Structure 1
């Protein structure tokens, strides 16, 4: 059956009226439900909601003024950004910018139906616009209501549309959980074998401090004002977070050419690492530079210059034992910073230290094994968001189709 045929069969010839959203819904300000405390903890029971993308700020132990959405589900509407959420659990509110929207008559229109219809509306936000949207704009939006004069039939049609869209939502959530579990399993397997290979239990190996293996060359600072479309290729420390492992030729940022003599560079074979991060784990992330020439580095980066296999060094810096030792040399503050003198004393394994040729061959062998694991893990990492995006597009297609209704049927209430 075609999609249009399905909708026609669902409507079964009934008329569709377009009624103002404000006539079909009621709203409540969050005043009675605002949280007082700021000491949120995962150990507490009640989530604290805010408008916008963050949504759940944390959890509070406050028991008064809790909105009982577990008893009557509600739509959370951000009055400034128009973001909407379906909430069916008890909560406290942090932001006064949200509205709790309910159906004014569940015997006439299902709230979940309204929720799905709201999701079909395109964003009308204008940059810099900071006006409240519900009363002045959204309350006047026209909602398609099938056969409003026959409440029983209307609710049956609404319920069937909700059932179909709920099924798509649940399927997407299940797929996300399944692929996420697969990714975690492969990642754990990869981490296990990487750490096992690089522990060299019973092997001919010497553990040497990084400072005894090579030298750390700190970059020099450039600012946003220095960025240009054509100029000197540079690695900004923020870029390291997006490519944790290895870099070859890459479209990096560029800064003004006249800065060339001022800058410091990473050369092919160096390992580039950052000395700052929001978390301790972020600090000291390492990327092997395998490009065809030198590339400038920011002053929050170091180029570690050495004579070992650069990918081998990078893999060593990803092991759990190395990360634990590195953490001892991070200054904890609002922005965590690597203490390079202490970091240079952290040791990594050097196989067959008395035979440089044999040592490099063993490093290359281990890198080849880990590259295969890394490739597999990254393939799954790329597959996950792509597959979810595909399902999301499929879901949005059916949602738009089920809630579009023919414009020729539109009649003002």
Structure 2
């Protein structure tokens, strides 16, 4: 049993290095055609250009209800990832009505048995994947995402790490205008602790 082996490694070494394929499968929303959208409406439809920003296209409530029931749809707290454009940009789905462009915006269907969504989001910020080159634009293909390796400690340790990182994140975001030097220092401090907390040494290395 793969999860039992992972938990044994966590017990012995304090963490386990796992591919994201162990977390869950890659999912995406059902394709929405341009003719199904409108410049205004009930449910915002986020494309790669508006992901994490303000939507400029909308779909009807009827289409939203039909598609989220019949096809893959993220649950509240799921970490969405941009697979094109600004690759690796993440947005945590807040549960409000919204729909997302297929293939360009994906997520790992995580039941949080091994990894919490919050810890997973911080791991994504390290961009552990390889990005495909050679096309007209760079892409993060499902296979590259599935092969990405992250270090996963116990759920308790994940919660401790994310609590510390959340604290630094709040400090960075609360220090606004008039304190540029302090903001820069806090950002560097946050990045240092993020990298430290999410990097695990091999025994004997």
TM-score interval w.r.t. the shorter chain? Answer: 0.5 to 0.7
Normalising to structure 1: TM-score of the pair? Answer: 0.34
Q: Please give the per-residue CA displacement for 1:211-260, whole angstroms capped at 9, x wherever unaligned.
A: 11111112233356503533234433333355xxxxxxx98963123422
Query: Considering only CA atoms, is the larger Rg found in Structure 1 or Structure 2?
Result: 1
Q: Please give the per-residue CA displacement for 1:91-139, whole angstroms capped at 9, x wherever unaligned.
A: xxxxxxxxxxxxxxxxxxxxxxxxxxxxxxxxxxxxxxxxxxxxxxxxx
- What is the aligned counterpart of 1:283 among 87, 98, 103? 87
- What is the aligned counterpart of 2:38 among 223, 227, 247? 227
After TM superposition, list the pairs within 5 Å mapping 1:70-219 onto structure 2. Answer: 204-219=14-29
Q: Please give the per-residue CA displacement for 1:288-321, whole angstroms capped at 9, x wherever unaligned.
A: 22x24564221111122111321210111112xx
Query: Is the 1:235–1:253 contact (alpha carbons within 8 Å) kept by the matching residues of 2?
Result: yes
**TM-superposed deviation, 1:206:** 0.4
How far, CA to CA, are the matches of 1:203 and 1:253 in structure 2? 48
Q: Which runs of 5+ in 2 are unaligned?
A: 1-9, 180-205
- Tell me which residue corresponds to 1:297: 100
How far, CA to CA, are the matches of 2:88 and 2:164 in structure 1? 24
After TM superposition, list the pairs within 5 Å mapping 1:373-388 onto structure 2. Answer: 373-380=168-175, 382-383=176-177
Match of 2:136, SS? coil
Query: Is the 1:275–1:284 contact (alpha carbons within 8 Å) kept by the matching residues of 2?
Result: yes
- What is the aligned counterpart of 1:316 among 106, 119, 123? 123
**TM-superposed deviation, 1:205:** 0.2
- Tell me which residue corresponds to 2:133: 331
Query: Is the 2:48–2:105 contact (alpha carbons within 8 Å) kept by the matching residues of 1?
Result: yes
Question: Aligned residues, how many?
Answer: 161
TM-align CA RMSD:
3.2
Change (3 A) 1:336 1:295: same
Query: Is the 1:266–1:297 contact (alpha carbons within 8 Å) kept by the matching residues of 2?
Result: no
Going by fraction, where is strand more abundant, 1 or 2?
A: 1
How far, CA to CA, are the matches of 1:215 and 1:384 in structure 2? 45
- Tell me which residue corresponds to 1:254: 58
How far, CA to CA, are the matches of 1:384 and 1:340 in structure 2? 43
Structure 1 runs (4+) greater than 4 angstroms displaced: 250-253
How far, CA to CA, are the matches of 1:227 and 1:283 in structure 2? 26
How far, CA to CA, are the matches of 1:219 and 1:295 in structure 2? 11
Query: Is the 2:132–2:138 contact (alpha carbons within 8 Å) kept by the matching residues of 1?
Result: yes
- Tell me which residue corresponds to 1:271: 79
How far, CA to CA, are the matches of 2:139 and 2:22 in structure 1? 22
Query: Is the 1:217–1:303 contact (alpha carbons within 8 Å) kept by the matching residues of 2?
Result: yes
Query: Is the 2:131–2:138 contact (alpha carbons within 8 Å) kept by the matching residues of 1?
Result: no
How far, CA to CA, are the matches of 1:334 and 1:297 in structure 2? 22
Change (3 A) 1:383 1:238: farther
Q: Which runs of 5+ in 1 are unaligned?
A: 1-199, 243-249, 353-358, 386-413
Match of 1:214, SS? coil
Normalising to structure 2: TM-score of the pair? Answer: 0.64
